[in-house]
Amino acid sequence: AQSVTQPDIHITVSEGASLELRCNYSYGATPYLFWYVQSPGQGLQLLLKYFSGDTLVQGIKGFEAEFKRSQSSFNLRKPSVHWSDAAEYFCAVEKGNTGFQKLVFGTGTRLLVSP
Amino acid sequence: DGGITQSPKYLFRKEGQNVTLSCEQNLNHDAMYWYRQDPGQGLRLIYYSQIVNDFQKGDIAEGYSVSREKKESFPLTVTSAQKNPTAFYLCASNPDTPNQPQHFGDGTRLSIL
């Protein structure tokens, strides 16, 4: 069965510092991968997605992620964090490329940004 | 603006009551989903629907029911059989074409009185 691991429950980063959130997946073939962000009491917003092609994916708000098949990872990065980036971040995997998506989510990483 | 509207934002239920959470989308999306979110557990799929008048159980369907009478609407009923209903519920949708990610509503928080 597919699974997604986000090993960090909380991460604190100083404003202006770089950020990397880890995501590891378990799936036999090349999965379809997503990063979503959730502000408190809100729904999820898509940051970026990987379906195929270039393994470095650019997203919104200055985020990027790199798919590494050898490490079964899809880590999210940002070179300089802003206070407004404080939120919870979810990695998700989907095994098929059809209209219907049965996403499997990680447990999330809460990002705190210190002044 | 197109989007997904969930209502109400907060909902309280007494023991033994059924409650219905509304999800409406004007994105003309075919597929719709209901997720439950608990602290530290991420999102878990309750039910999903690919077309009108058809829906399937997800991973945690016990104690829940849904209907899909219209393309734009996918209400979720939390029945009295759901013993631990306190959670944040999220509705999502996406088109029935490849490479289209899910869009999410802003959620409904359900609490037990």
User: Which residues of chain B are within 8 Å of residue A90 when distances are taken between CB atoms?
Assistant: 42-43
User: Which residues of chain B are within 8 Å of residue A46 when distances are taken between CB atoms?
Assistant: 101-103
Determine which of A13-17, A31-35, A51-55, B57-61 has the lowest per-residue pLDDT on average: A51-55
What is the pLDDT confidence band of residue A84, given thresholds at 50, 70 and 90? very high
What pLDDT, on the 0 to 100 scale, is given for residue B110? Answer: 95
What is the pLDDT confidence band of residue A96, given thresholds at 50, 70 and 90? low
DSSP states of B7-74: E-SEEEE-TT--EEEEEEE-S--SEEEEEEE-TTS-EEEEEEEEETTEEEE-TT-TTEEE--SBTTB-
B2 touches chain A (CB under 8 A): no
- Tens of pLDDT, residue by residue over B23-68, are 999 999 999 999 999 988 889 999 999 999 999 999 999 999 999 9
* Nearest CB to B45; choose among A42, A51, A102: A102
Nearest CA distance, B65 vs chain A (angstrom): 18
B42 touches chain A (CB under 8 A): yes
